[in-house]
Structure 1
Amino acid sequence: MAILVSGGAGYIGSHMVLELLDRGEQVVVLDDLSTGFWWAVPKEATLVQGDMGDQPFVERVIAEHGITEIAHFAAKIVVPDSVSDPLGYYLNNTVKTRALLESAVRGGVKHVIFSSTAAVYGEPPVSPVPEEIALNPINPYGRSKLMSEWMLSDVARAFPLTYVALRYFNVSGADPKGRSGQSTPNATHLIKVACQAALGQRAGLEVFGTDYPTPDGTCVRDYIHVTDLARAHLSALDHLRAGGANLTLNCGYGRGYSVKQVVDVVKQVSGVDFPVKLSGRRAGDPASLVAKADRIRSELGWQPEHDDLEQIVRQALAWEDQLKTRNAK
């Protein structure tokens, strides 16, 4: 019995691989390495390089490795890019997810854990945001993920496959043991960008929008530590293996920080007062996204261990420093 981790050489996927290996699971990573890194996959896992949309290839991987479960992370994730390249996002996030699901059905895969997003909510009228609120994504990224949620639900009705879809809020931080982190050089994650600015790897930080209806005018987000998120996937896996029902759950802490608050914490922790440029709003950015996160606790028994913004920033800074050393070699 093995679990296939699509996108397992990327940021969140690599942390899932670490958590699975830590508890003795057999792990196969499927990644095309377009944004992931081969060195992010531990030697204890099997790395298979390829396209998740290549059905004959994926079906061979499922058969050869005895795959019984899939944790599906592979996706394009940058909201502004989805606005300028909607077809690319629908291809990668929706069309290829459909292909992966068909391969899973043909291969007799029992369980799927799907990486969804809070972007399916769009600009919710309430905060924190409950799962049952009307879904109204405002950008192609959110729409591409919502379409995949619908497909997964329909597939589970038609075939003997169960799933948990986790709607992430803002993923941040790095492995507390220093084994992995956000490694994409030009990533747009706020904490990563701010850490790079603090370390002198960027000239500064640009804040998009200061006139939102929030306490300080900047966007508010629920920042969840990547290791807590990976462990939520483990809880989802255990739930499905125990015969649990299909679930769609928020994955966040239930409280938010503004962009300005995050920048202030990075400056405080790093001791660097890096330049900050204030700019207009970006297309597709809602004012506030904070999870109503009680259901994941009650349904999966998940308890976060790293809900501390200062800790998240310290670990992100440590990872950036490690990356700088790696890239200098």
Structure 2
Amino acid sequence: MNLLVTGGAGYIGGTVSTILMQAGHRVTVLDNLCHSKRAELPVGAEFVEADIADRPRVEALLRELKPDGVLHFAALIEAGESMQKPEIYFRNNTASTLALLEAMHATGTNRLVFSSTAAVYGEPKSTPIEETAALAPTNAYGESKLMVEQMLGWFHRVHGLRYASLRYFNVAGALPGRGEAHEPETHIIPLILDVALGRRASINIYGDDYPTPDGTCIRDYIHVRDLADAHILAIKALGERERMILNLGNGSGFSVKEVIASARRVTGHAIPAEIKPRRDGDPARLVAGSEKAKTELGWQPEYPELDRILESAWEWHKQRYA
């Protein structure tokens, strides 16, 4: 296939792009490099430096490439920041995606895989969360993604857009040569590994009074390779399917304290932790029910164990600073 990947210089988009090319597909990466570097581009991909909000530029690119589909990862992703600056999340995640959808419609590009999030559910009434659960985000990040999902539904209904919206939460782990790194870094596993490497004095735990067994938030961690495989299965499935909304996760949740304990086992370092006040908009528990993805895509996570996920991240993280 000939595919356009937005945000393809990032952690997830770059991993998907790399695996697509290894499978023989042609990949063009579209990225504005606002949170990534040119050196992080997947080797072998064609690259266009542009913003998806630039509709004329994106439309011209789509007319030139005539891609079989688009995998859309370009977005801001920090839930905490979204509660301080919600306006930039609605502009960058929601309004910019509308410009992309308009460009796709204008050029007859009719297949899209959207990188969504379990944050669209907010504080769930029960776990694991099924796709039929109520959609009630507790932060502007989740709301910005939910608004995109609503737009996708209308573009499907009115214009016949074929799309897959893949909802996932904490992506982690690494492939050889490609791992998780953000500027600035706010994700828990890279931050914990920075402590193990002596780059930080301790890891912060934001709240230890949640209604969970150890008082810290519980999340469903999924290896980036497993996530990438699901995106590739989804873009292929859209050749026959018109619309899919699927959760992606291991179906097992791990608390912040459990993640720190795993990192201590894997790295052999003490990793001091400090308790801090809760952050606004953090649900206590988010665990995805992924049976639908397994049934409809034939997808099966290969790295469900937390220690294996941490091990791959640790190997890459050590090499990163070698």
- 1:211 maps to 209
Please list, as runs of the form range in 1=range in 2, the aligned pairs for 1:36-115 lying within 5 A after superposition. Answer: 36-115=36-115
- Secondary structure at 2:143's aligned position in 1? helix
- Cα-to-partner distance string for 1:274-306 (whole Å, 9 max, x where unaligned): 221011111010000001111100011101111
The answer to whether the 8 Å contact 2:169/2:220 transfers is yes
1:182 aligns with 2:180: yes
Is the 1:17–1:41 contact (alpha carbons within 8 Å) kept by the matching residues of 2? no
Does 2:300 match 1:310? Answer: no
Q: Give the whole-Å Cα distance in 2 for the aligned partners of 1:75 and 1:161.
A: 20
Report the 3-state secondary structure (helix = DSSP H, G, I; strand = E; otherwise coil) of the residue aligned with 1:151. Answer: helix
* CA distance in structure 1 between the partners assigned to 2:64 and 2:236 by the alignment: 24
Aligned partners of 2:238, 2:263: CA distance in 1, in Å? 38
Question: Structure 2 length normalisation: TM-score?
Answer: 0.98
List per-residue Cα deviations over 1:242-275 (Å, max 9, x = no partner).
x113011101011100000000010111111022
Separation in structure 1 between the aligned mates of residue 58 and residue 320 of structure 2, nearest angstrom: 31
Task: Summarize the alignment of residues 242-253 of structure 1 with structure 2, pairs less than 5 Å apart.
Answer: 243-253=240-250
- Deviation at residue 324 of structure 1 after TM alignment: 1.2
1:74 alignment partner, SS class = coil
State the distance in 2 between where 1:302 and 1:96 align: 30
Q: How does 1:1-329 map to 2 (within 5 A)?
A: 2-175=2-175, 178-241=176-239, 243-325=240-322
Q: Give me the whole-angstrom Cα distance separating, in 2, the residues matched to 1:42 and 1:95.
A: 27
1:19-72 alpha-carbon deviations (Å, 9 max, x no partner): 110110010000000112222223311010011100110011111122221000
Distance 1:288 1:294 in 2: 19
CA distance in 2, matches of 1:80, 1:32: 22
| Aligned counterparts of 2:76 and 2:207: Cα–Cα separation in 1 | 23
Partners of 2:160 and 2:49 in 1: how far apart?
28
SS of the residue 1:13 aligns to: helix
Distance 1:292 1:268 in 2: 28
Shift of 1:185: 4.5
Secondary structure of the residue aligned to 2:25 is coil
**Residue identity in the other structure for 2:18:** L
Residue type of the partner of 1:271?
A: G
Separation (CA, whole Å) in 1 of partners of 2:38 and 2:53: 20
Which whole-Å CA distance do the structure 2 matches of 1:219 and 1:54 have between them? 38
Tell me the amino acid that sits aligned with residue 192 of structure 1. P
Shift of the alpha carbon at 1:118? 0.4
Task: After TM superposition, give the deviation of residue 321 of structure 1 in Å.
Answer: 1.5
Unaligned regions of 5+ residues in structure 1, if any?
none
After TM superposition, the runs of 4+ consecutive aligned structure 1 residues lying more than 4 A away are none
Contact 2:36–2:183 under 8 Å retained in 1: no
CA RMSD of aligned residues (A): 1.0
| Partners of 1:8 and 1:31 within 8 A in 2 | yes
Question: Does structure 2 retain, via aligned residues, the 8 Å contact 1:198–1:274?
Answer: yes
- TM score, norm. by length of structure 1: 0.96
- Structure 2 portions without partners, runs of 5+: none
Cα distance in structure 2, aligned partners of 1:109 and 1:313: 38
Residues 9 and 42 of structure 2 are in contact (CA less than 8 Å); yes or no, is this contact kept in structure 1?
A: no
CA distance in 2, matches of 1:106, 1:41: 28
Letter in 2 for 1:179: G
Aligned residues: 322
